[in-house]
């Protein structure tokens, strides 16, 4: 199975400041035929289902604020919140969906306000 490792486990950022979350896969999740990385980012708030933010490592889901961006290649990926807002307090998960299953999640990164 592909193991996804996120860092840090938690971070505290001041309102309006940048938050950066890293995700590393234990093997490549790049489809050479499609030239796409099979990597998604989700936001999880208590009492709510996960919300898709980013897919193909850098494609923002419709309706997601543009302060959220994804980047990376190979086995190292990053979710950046450019200017943290109060409503961004949540746990963030990366997930690989590179065939075959299982499509594993990272352990999660908790973002809070400093």
Partner 1 sequence: EVQLVQSGAELKKPGESLKISCKGSGYTFPKYWIAWVRQMPGKGLEWMGIIYPDDSDTRYSPSFQGQVTISVDKSINTAYLQWSRLKASDTAIYYCARPNMVSTLGAFDIWGQGTMVTVS
Name the segment binding partner 1 (CB under 8 A); options: 15-23, 71-79, 81-89, 92-100.
92-100
Structure tokens at 19: 């938050």
Structure tokens at 43: 């936001």
Count of all residues that appear for the chain in the document: 114
How far from the centroid of its chain's Cα atoms is residue 24's Cα?
10
By CB under 8 A, tell whether 100 contacts partner 1.
yes
Name the segment binding partner 1 (CB under 8 A); options: 12-20, 67-75, 80-88, 104-112.
104-112
Chosen residue from 42, 68, 70, 88 binding partner 1 by CB under 8 A: 42
By CB under 8 A, tell whether 105 contacts partner 1.
yes
Chosen residue from 23, 40, 90, 111 binding partner 1 by CB under 8 A: 40
Give the C-alpha separation, 22 to 88, whole Å.
17
Nearest to 6 by CA among 19, 18, 22: 22
Give the C-alpha separation, 11 to 5, whole Å.
15
Q: What does the binding site for partner 1 look like in residue numbers (CB under 8 A)?
A: 1, 40, 42, 44, 49-52, 55-56, 61, 91, 93, 95, 97, 99-108
């Amino acid at each position: 199975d592909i193991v996804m490792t996120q860092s840090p486990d938690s971070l505290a950022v001041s309102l309006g400041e940048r938050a950066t979350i890293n995700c590393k896969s234990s093997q490549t999740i790049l489809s050479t035929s499609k030239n796409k990385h099979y990597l998604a980012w989700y936001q999880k708030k208590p009492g709510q289902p996960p919300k898709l933010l980013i897919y193909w490592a850098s494609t923002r889901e419709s309706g997601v604020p543009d302060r959220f961006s994804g980047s990376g290649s190979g086995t190292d990926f990053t979710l950046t919140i450019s200017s943290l807002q109060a409503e961004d307090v949540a746990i963030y998960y990366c997930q690989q969906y590179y065939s075959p299953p299982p499509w594993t999640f990272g352990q999660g990164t908790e973002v809070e306000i400093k």
